[in-house]
Amino acid sequence: DAGITQSPRHKVTETGTPVTLRCHQTENHRYMYWYRQDPGHGLRLIHYSYGVKDTDKGEVSDGYSVSRSKTEDFLLTLESATSSQTSVYFCAISESYRNTGELFFGEGSRLTVL
Amino acid sequence: DQQVKQNSPSLSVQEGRISILNCDYTNSMFDYFLWYKKYPAEGPTFLISISSIKDKNEDGRFTVFLNKSAKHLSLHIVPSQPGDSAVYFCAVESGTYKYIFGTGTRLKVLA
Protein backbone atom coordinates (compact mmCIF):
# COMPACT_ATOMS: atom_id res chain seq x y z
CA ASP A 1 0.00 0.00 0.00
CA ALA A 2 1.15 3.51 -0.83
CA GLY A 3 2.24 5.45 2.24
CA ILE A 4 -0.44 8.12 2.49
CA THR A 5 -1.72 9.44 5.78
CA GLN A 6 -4.59 11.89 6.14
CA SER A 7 -5.26 13.81 9.32
CA PRO A 8 -7.57 14.30 11.00
CA ARG A 9 -9.68 11.33 9.92
CA HIS A 10 -12.82 12.83 11.44
CA LYS A 11 -13.65 16.40 12.35
CA VAL A 12 -16.75 18.26 13.39
CA THR A 13 -16.60 22.03 13.28
CA GLU A 14 -18.85 25.04 13.20
CA THR A 15 -19.68 27.35 10.33
CA GLY A 16 -17.16 30.13 9.95
CA THR A 17 -14.22 28.38 11.57
CA PRO A 18 -11.00 27.64 9.70
CA VAL A 19 -10.09 24.03 9.04
CA THR A 20 -6.89 22.46 7.74
CA LEU A 21 -6.63 18.91 6.48
CA ARG A 22 -3.21 17.37 6.09
CA CYS A 23 -1.99 14.79 3.61
CA HIS A 24 1.38 13.22 4.27
CA GLN A 25 3.12 10.79 1.89
CA THR A 26 6.24 8.71 2.29
CA GLU A 27 6.52 7.72 -1.40
CA ASN A 28 8.29 10.84 -2.69
CA HIS A 29 5.67 11.11 -5.46
CA ARG A 30 5.58 14.33 -7.42
CA TYR A 31 1.84 14.76 -7.89
CA MET A 32 -0.67 15.24 -5.08
CA TYR A 33 -4.43 15.83 -5.21
CA TRP A 34 -7.36 16.71 -3.02
CA TYR A 35 -10.80 15.35 -3.93
CA ARG A 36 -14.14 15.50 -2.20
CA GLN A 37 -16.76 12.77 -2.42
CA ASP A 38 -20.43 13.61 -2.22
CA PRO A 39 -23.54 11.54 -3.04
CA GLY A 40 -24.57 12.04 -6.64
CA HIS A 41 -21.36 13.85 -7.51
CA GLY A 42 -18.72 11.15 -7.23
CA LEU A 43 -15.17 12.36 -6.73
CA ARG A 44 -14.53 15.98 -7.59
CA LEU A 45 -11.08 17.53 -7.83
CA ILE A 46 -10.52 20.50 -5.52
CA HIS A 47 -6.83 21.35 -6.00
CA TYR A 48 -3.74 19.56 -7.11
CA SER A 49 0.02 19.95 -6.98
CA TYR A 50 2.61 19.04 -9.59
CA GLY A 51 5.62 19.89 -7.45
CA VAL A 52 6.73 21.76 -4.36
CA LYS A 53 5.01 25.15 -4.36
CA ASP A 54 3.36 24.32 -7.69
CA THR A 55 -0.40 24.06 -7.29
CA ASP A 56 -3.48 24.66 -9.39
CA LYS A 57 -7.26 24.66 -9.13
CA GLY A 58 -9.54 21.78 -9.87
CA GLU A 59 -13.28 21.62 -10.57
CA VAL A 60 -14.54 22.83 -7.18
CA SER A 61 -11.84 25.07 -5.75
CA ASP A 62 -13.98 27.95 -4.43
CA GLY A 63 -13.63 28.26 -0.65
CA TYR A 64 -10.49 26.14 -0.53
CA SER A 65 -6.78 26.89 -0.60
CA VAL A 66 -3.77 24.59 -0.60
CA SER A 67 -0.09 24.69 0.18
CA ARG A 68 2.80 22.40 -0.51
CA SER A 69 6.05 23.56 1.04
CA LYS A 70 7.73 20.15 0.87
CA THR A 71 7.30 17.05 -1.24
CA GLU A 72 5.65 14.94 1.44
CA ASP A 73 2.95 17.31 2.69
CA PHE A 74 -0.08 18.78 0.94
CA LEU A 75 -2.40 20.90 3.08
CA LEU A 76 -6.01 21.74 2.28
CA THR A 77 -7.44 24.77 4.09
CA LEU A 78 -11.01 25.92 4.41
CA GLU A 79 -10.61 29.53 5.48
CA SER A 80 -14.18 29.83 6.75
CA ALA A 81 -16.03 26.52 6.71
CA THR A 82 -19.60 26.35 5.41
CA SER A 83 -22.19 23.58 5.65
CA SER A 84 -21.79 22.91 1.91
CA GLN A 85 -18.23 21.80 2.65
CA THR A 86 -19.48 18.90 4.74
CA SER A 87 -17.98 15.99 2.82
CA VAL A 88 -15.45 13.21 2.76
CA TYR A 89 -12.09 14.46 1.56
CA PHE A 90 -9.55 12.23 -0.12
CA CYS A 91 -5.92 12.90 -0.78
CA ALA A 92 -4.25 11.10 -3.67
CA ILE A 93 -0.71 10.83 -4.97
CA SER A 94 0.83 9.84 -8.27
CA GLU A 95 4.39 9.20 -9.31
CA SER A 96 3.93 9.98 -12.98
CA TYR A 97 1.47 11.28 -15.53
CA ARG A 98 0.58 10.76 -19.17
CA ASN A 99 -0.63 7.23 -19.83
CA THR A 100 1.38 5.64 -17.09
CA GLY A 101 0.20 7.03 -13.85
CA GLU A 102 -2.37 5.86 -11.42
CA LEU A 103 -3.62 7.56 -8.31
CA PHE A 104 -3.14 6.09 -4.86
CA PHE A 105 -5.69 7.35 -2.37
CA GLY A 106 -5.61 7.92 1.34
CA GLU A 107 -8.34 6.61 3.62
CA GLY A 108 -10.26 9.87 3.68
CA SER A 109 -11.12 12.64 6.14
CA ARG A 110 -14.76 13.04 7.08
CA LEU A 111 -15.59 16.69 7.78
CA THR A 112 -18.89 17.84 9.23
CA VAL A 113 -19.65 21.56 9.34
CA LEU A 114 -22.54 22.43 11.63
CA ASP B 1 -20.94 20.10 -17.56
CA GLN B 2 -19.88 16.63 -16.59
CA GLN B 3 -17.00 15.46 -18.72
CA VAL B 4 -17.24 11.90 -17.43
CA LYS B 5 -20.64 10.30 -16.93
CA GLN B 6 -21.74 7.09 -15.32
CA ASN B 7 -25.45 7.01 -16.01
CA SER B 8 -26.30 3.99 -13.89
CA PRO B 9 -26.14 4.84 -10.18
CA SER B 10 -26.57 1.20 -9.22
CA LEU B 11 -26.45 -2.33 -10.59
CA SER B 12 -27.37 -5.70 -9.11
CA VAL B 13 -25.98 -8.95 -10.49
CA GLN B 14 -26.17 -12.58 -9.45
CA GLU B 15 -22.98 -14.22 -8.26
CA GLY B 16 -21.17 -15.94 -11.13
CA ARG B 17 -22.76 -13.78 -13.82
CA ILE B 18 -21.19 -10.92 -15.75
CA SER B 19 -21.23 -7.36 -14.40
CA ILE B 20 -21.00 -4.59 -16.99
CA LEU B 21 -20.35 -1.05 -15.84
CA ASN B 22 -20.49 1.79 -18.32
CA CYS B 23 -18.87 5.17 -18.64
CA ASP B 24 -19.20 7.94 -21.24
CA TYR B 25 -16.91 10.89 -21.78
CA THR B 26 -17.28 14.07 -23.76
CA ASN B 27 -13.82 15.01 -24.97
CA SER B 28 -12.29 13.02 -27.82
CA MET B 29 -8.84 14.28 -26.76
CA PHE B 30 -8.91 12.15 -23.61
CA ASP B 31 -6.51 9.28 -24.15
CA TYR B 32 -6.02 7.44 -20.87
CA PHE B 33 -8.77 5.92 -18.82
CA LEU B 34 -8.89 4.24 -15.43
CA TRP B 35 -11.31 2.32 -13.24
CA TYR B 36 -11.33 2.47 -9.46
CA LYS B 37 -13.17 0.45 -6.85
CA LYS B 38 -14.27 1.86 -3.52
CA TYR B 39 -15.46 0.06 -0.41
CA PRO B 40 -17.27 1.98 2.36
CA ALA B 41 -15.00 3.93 4.72
CA GLU B 42 -11.96 3.28 2.51
CA GLY B 43 -10.17 5.22 -0.18
CA PRO B 44 -10.64 4.24 -3.83
CA THR B 45 -8.23 1.64 -5.16
CA PHE B 46 -6.95 1.32 -8.72
CA LEU B 47 -8.42 -1.54 -10.70
CA ILE B 48 -7.44 -1.37 -14.35
CA SER B 49 -6.56 1.18 -17.02
CA ILE B 50 -6.51 1.51 -20.79
CA SER B 51 -4.75 3.76 -23.25
CA SER B 52 -6.52 5.05 -26.34
CA ILE B 53 -4.15 3.09 -28.56
CA LYS B 54 -5.93 -0.06 -27.37
CA ASP B 55 -9.56 -1.10 -27.41
CA LYS B 56 -9.32 -3.80 -24.75
CA ASN B 57 -7.29 -4.55 -21.65
CA GLU B 58 -7.63 -7.58 -19.42
CA ASP B 59 -6.51 -8.33 -15.89
CA GLY B 60 -7.87 -11.55 -14.51
CA ARG B 61 -11.63 -11.30 -14.11
CA PHE B 62 -11.62 -7.64 -15.15
CA THR B 63 -11.69 -6.39 -18.73
CA VAL B 64 -12.01 -2.81 -19.87
CA PHE B 65 -13.27 -2.03 -23.37
CA LEU B 66 -12.80 1.31 -25.08
CA ASN B 67 -14.91 2.54 -27.99
CA LYS B 68 -13.28 5.79 -29.07
CA SER B 69 -15.79 6.64 -31.78
CA ALA B 70 -18.62 6.42 -29.25
CA LYS B 71 -16.53 7.98 -26.46
CA HIS B 72 -17.55 5.07 -24.29
CA LEU B 73 -15.76 2.63 -22.05
CA SER B 74 -17.02 -0.32 -20.10
CA LEU B 75 -15.75 -2.57 -17.33
CA HIS B 76 -16.65 -6.26 -17.45
CA ILE B 77 -16.31 -8.44 -14.38
CA VAL B 78 -16.58 -12.16 -15.04
CA PRO B 79 -17.51 -14.06 -12.98
CA SER B 80 -18.88 -11.63 -10.45
CA GLN B 81 -18.26 -12.40 -6.78
CA PRO B 82 -19.90 -11.02 -3.61
CA GLY B 83 -16.57 -9.35 -2.72
CA ASP B 84 -16.90 -7.26 -5.87
CA SER B 85 -19.77 -5.36 -4.28
CA ALA B 86 -18.50 -1.79 -4.14
CA VAL B 87 -18.77 1.57 -5.86
CA TYR B 88 -16.91 1.73 -9.17
CA PHE B 89 -15.59 4.98 -10.60
CA CYS B 90 -14.26 5.58 -14.07
CA ALA B 91 -11.69 8.34 -14.51
CA VAL B 92 -9.81 10.07 -17.31
CA GLU B 93 -6.60 11.97 -17.60
CA SER B 94 -7.92 15.36 -18.61
CA GLY B 95 -4.69 17.19 -19.32
CA THR B 96 -2.30 19.24 -17.18
CA TYR B 97 -1.91 16.55 -14.54
CA LYS B 98 -5.61 16.29 -13.74
CA TYR B 99 -7.74 13.19 -13.30
CA ILE B 100 -11.50 13.64 -13.65
CA PHE B 101 -13.85 11.06 -12.14
CA GLY B 102 -17.39 9.99 -12.91
CA THR B 103 -20.19 9.89 -10.36
CA GLY B 104 -19.80 6.19 -9.68
CA THR B 105 -21.92 3.05 -9.99
CA ARG B 106 -22.78 0.99 -6.93
CA LEU B 107 -22.49 -2.71 -7.77
CA LYS B 108 -24.19 -5.29 -5.63
CA VAL B 109 -23.39 -8.94 -6.31
CA LEU B 110 -26.05 -11.21 -4.89
CA ALA B 111 -25.04 -14.57 -3.47
Which among B9, B46, B51 has the least Cβ separation from residue A103?
Answer: B46
Which among A42, A45, A99 has the least Cβ separation from residue B102?
Answer: A42
Buried b (16+ CB within 10 A) or exposed e, A63-89: ebebebeeebebbbbbeebeeebbbbb
Q: Looking at CA atoms only, how far is residue A110 from chain B in angstroms?
A: 9
Interface contact B43-A59, CB threshold 8 A: no
Give the per-residue SS3 of A26-71: CCCCCEEEEEEEECCCEEEEEEEEEECCEEEECCCCCCEEEEEEEC
Please say if the pLDDT value at position A12 is more than 60.
Answer: yes
Please say if the pLDDT value at position B96 is more than 90.
Answer: no
Interface contact B99-A99, CB threshold 8 A: no
pLDDT, tens digit, 9 for 90 and up, residues A59-114: 999 999 999 999 999 999 999 999 999 999 999 998 876 656 688 999 999 999 99
Q: Looking at CA atoms only, how far is residue A83 from chain B in angstroms?
A: 21
pLDDT, position A98: 63
pLDDT, tens digit, 9 for 90 and up, residues B47-89: 999 999 999 999 999 999 999 999 999 999 999 999 999 999 9
Binning pLDDT at 50, 70 and 90, where does residue B98 land?
confident
pLDDT, position A103: 87
pLDDT, position B2: 79
pLDDT, tens digit, 9 for 90 and up, residues B6-50: 999 999 999 999 999 999 999 988 889 999 999 999 999 999 999
Distance CA A90, CA A2 (A): 14
Please say if the pLDDT value at position A33 is more than 80.
Answer: yes
Q: Looking at CA atoms only, how far is residue A31 from chain B in angstroms?
A: 8
Q: In this structure, what CATH number is given to the domain that contains residue B24? A: 2.60.40.10
Please say if the pLDDT value at position B94 is more than 80.
Answer: yes
- In chain A, the domains with their CATH numbers are 4-113 (2.60.40.10)
Task: Report the domain count for chain B.
Answer: 1
Identify the domain containing residue B89 by its residue range: 4-110
Please say if the pLDDT value at position A14 is more than 60.
Answer: yes
